[in-house]
């Protein structure tokens, strides 16, 4: 009996203490709190109050974090890039590999003919490290503190630099890189398709080059009917496998066959210092063009789910790291082995693929040559899909913004068909476009090396005069200077060395 009396007195004393504390303690946020009900007061005095209260607070905090990471634009559900968000690290690796390895890798030995061994390898290593760092910056910038996901490069640029300035700086390079790459893929894929047909049948092809362009474009348009970026993950996997396959075949074949006769590694004689400087800038543009694909990184990350415990940047970085290990294993041996085998004799039109047909077509198995050509065709068709996706997304964005409803399937087919026809027309009208690799690399260079550093400063606002602040400002400014120099070098190369310009007459 005495024990019960003591317990009652203690509990009443605790309630009085809690009541006095709640009255005397001012609220931390300056807002008066509403009085608690008798039921809540009795509940909070039970032994289960403390763990239950912690559980509720933890759940409330977790839901707040999830809400912060899943603040999405409803319009994203209608657009092909963000329509499906069930991607993962494997899908990311497939897309990055398909967009990161391609015909531009076959042109890398051309840069070495101007830069030589030492500067060529040094510039390649610096460019690889630099673009991998800017890739990491983009992945970190994808998810903002406000909860908005920047699933498109252009949207991130508009957030960082303002709407008007972001469009001025980023819209043209992004569309130029996407559209120009698709046009070049039509040329390379169709020409290689023609060579493969002639090798298989052993007779001249009855179709003209323009007709092969049309065959390739129609096939690419059919594949482009897949609805969204996640749905082409299998296509990107095939593109990645074929890219690795033909890079390995060409590199191994060139090294095994040995150096061609009269190979030289000395720069061309009789050129002035000014000429060599301009050629070096053009060579830097070729290296920059080899590391394209940054305009697709945010789009690829936008296909992945994200929450507080598993933000998309973690899975995206795992996929990117795997992809770039494979890319390094392809690009470096191809550049070094190709320059060792052919030196200054490597053809300016076609790079390593042109050298394979020029020097080894008669002393190599037709099966190997044919297999290499087939892999190039398949890779070109696969890469066309991922590089065309930003254009498809932009077209549908304009429609959905105006009509406030999803794009009908028939109109989506029309958009993609019209883009394929436009790319086909440009390929026929400007068949010399692949020779402008240095110029394309110069225009795309700020997308890869400069803008990510400047956008990091504008959005993350690192402390002034800190290491992070100096590093990104330095890389951003140098990247913009290199852009101007590379474009000047590419234009000079076209003017000084000349180019076969034949409109509406693809060879």
- 145: helix, strand or coil: coil
Domain boundaries, the chain: 87-497
Instruction: Look up residue 86 and give its DSSP letter.
Output: -
- 149: helix, strand or coil: strand
Alpha helices in 32-87 (DSSP H): 38-44, 49-69
Give residue-wise pLDDT tens across range 141-169: 998 877 788 989 999 999 999 999 998 88
Distance of alpha carbon 227 from alpha carbon 52, whole angstroms: 47
Residue 6 has what pLDDT? 40
pTM (two decimals): 0.81
Alpha helices in 83-208 (DSSP H): 89-100, 108-141, 153-161, 163-201
- Percent with pLDDT over 90 in the chain: 41
pLDDT averaged per 10 residues, the chain (length 507): 42 45 39 43 48 50 45 76 89 92 86 90 94 94 85 92 90 84 90 87 80 94 92 93 93 88 76 78 84 86 87 93 94 93 85 86 84 93 93 91 90 94 89 68 83 94 91 94 84 67 66
| CATH fold for domain 87-497 | Hydantoin permease (1.10.4160)
CB-CB contact of 209 with 507 (8 Å): yes
CB-CB contact of 451 with 157 (8 Å): yes
Q: Which residues contact 347 (CB under 8 A, 6 or more apart)?
A: 354, 355, 358
Tokens of 441: 């690399």
Q: Which residue has the tokens 């006095």?
A: 20
Give residue-wise pLDDT tens across range 297-335: 999 999 999 887 888 999 999 999 999 999 999 999 999
Residue 29 has what pLDDT? 38
CA–centroid distance for 150 within its chain: 14
């Amino acid at each position: 009996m005495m024990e019960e009396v003591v317990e009652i007195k203690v509990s009443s004393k605790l309630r009085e203490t809690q009541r006095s504390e709640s009255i005397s303690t001012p609220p931390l946020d300056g807002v008066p709190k509403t009085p608690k009900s008798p039921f809540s007061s009795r509940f909070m005095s039970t032994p289960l109050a403390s763990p239950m209260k912690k559980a509720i607070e933890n759940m409330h905090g977790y839901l707040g974090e999830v809400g912060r990471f899943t603040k999405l634009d409803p319009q994203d559900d209608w657009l092909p890039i963000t329509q499906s968000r069930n991607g993962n690290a494997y899908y990311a690796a497939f897309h990055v590999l398909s967009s990161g390895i391609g015909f531009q890798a076959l042109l890398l030995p051309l840069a070495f003919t101007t830069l030589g061994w030492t500067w060529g390898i040094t510039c390649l290593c610096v460019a690889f490290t630099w673009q991998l760092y800017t890739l990491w910056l983009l992945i970190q910038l994808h998810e903002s503190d406000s909860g908005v996901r920047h699933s498109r490069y252009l949207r991130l640029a508009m957030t960082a630099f303002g709407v008007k300035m972001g469009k001025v700086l980023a819209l043209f390079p992004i569309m130029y890189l996407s559209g120009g790459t698709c046009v070049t893929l039509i040329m390379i894929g169709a020409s290689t398709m023609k060579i493969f047909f002639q090798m298989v049948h052993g007779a001249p092809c009855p179709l003209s080059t323009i007709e092969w362009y049309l065959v390739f474009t129609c096939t690419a348009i059919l594949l482009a009917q897949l609805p969204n970026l996640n749905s082409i993950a299998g296509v990107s996997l095939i593109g990645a496998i074929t890219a690795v396959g033909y890079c390995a075949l060409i590199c191994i074949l060139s090294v095994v066959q040995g150096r061609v006769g009269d190979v030289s590694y000395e720069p061309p004689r009789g050129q002035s210092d000014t000429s060599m400087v301009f050629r070096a800038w053009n060579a830097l543009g070729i290296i920059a063009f080899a590391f394209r694909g940054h305009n697709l990184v945010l789009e690829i990350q936008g296909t992945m789910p994200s929450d507080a415990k598993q933000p998309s940047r973690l899975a995206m970085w795992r996929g990117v790291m795997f992809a770039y290990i494979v890319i390094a294993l392809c690009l470096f041996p191809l550049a070094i082995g190709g320059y060792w085998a052919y030196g200054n004799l490597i053809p300016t039109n076609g790079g390593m693929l042109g050298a394979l047909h020029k020097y080894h077509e008669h002393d190599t198995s037709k099966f190997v040559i044919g297999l290499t050509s087939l892999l190039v065709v398949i890779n070109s068709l696969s890469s066309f899909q991922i590089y065309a996706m930003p254009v498809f997304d932009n077209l549908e964005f304009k429609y959905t913004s105006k009509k406030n409803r999803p794009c009908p399937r028939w109109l989506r087919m029309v958009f993609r068909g019209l883009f394929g026809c436009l790319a086909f027309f440009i390929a026929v009208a400007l068949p010399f476009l692949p020779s402008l690799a240095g110029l394309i690399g110069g225009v795309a260079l700020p997308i890869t090396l400069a803008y990510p550093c400047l956008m990091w400063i504008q959005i993350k606002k690192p402390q002034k005069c800190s290491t992070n602040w100096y590093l990104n400002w330095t890389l951003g400014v140098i990247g913009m200077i290199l852009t101007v120099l590379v474009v000047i070098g590419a234009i000079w190369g076209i003017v000084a060395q000349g180019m076969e310009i034949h409109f509406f007459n693809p060879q």
